[in-house]
Amino acid sequence: MPYGVFPRPNVRTTPNPAPRWSHKTWLVTRLRRNSLDTQLATGTTPSTLTPLGLRAAQLSSHGGRARLANALVEAVGEARKGEPMNIRKRPQRAEVRAEADAILALASRLRESTPIDVRGAALVALLVNDGSSPLHRPSSRKLGDALTEAHAALIPAHEAYIDLAAAA
């Protein structure tokens, strides 16, 4: 008897057990990644066991944040190199070089251990993964504006409220 005469307690040791997503949810999330990112970027609140909830968990996880930060740093490195010999999506070189400091600051923010808002992570994911984003193609939207919006959206709403209250 490991507990002696005392009964084994039936209490949950973790406040929220990790949700278990089905294989179908994983597959749908992978296939619809950009559309789910678009929904999250517009502010849609994800529910737990849906593909949107899984994508939000992926983006806010430590690994997901590191992948986004690495992709941003790779875009800056790619823009600083000579012309590559592959067919991968390439960033706009001149725009990325001009905004290199902002891109690296965004990557640094993603690598911090402080909490982020999933809306900001979704904006960064769209910037990195979508081939028609200002990072990859010239568009009506400037890369600097997209970076500023993503950086501001990474700040969780409750932290922005606390900062505003402290400033007043």
Domain boundaries, the chain: 62-167
- CA distance linking residue 162 with residue 2, whole number of Å: 48
The per-residue pLDDT for 139 is 79
- Tell me the pLDDT tens digit for each residue of 102-161: 999 999 999 999 999 999 999 999 999 988 888 888 878 899 999 999 999 998 876 555
Global confidence as pTM: 0.78
The per-residue pLDDT for 88 is 61
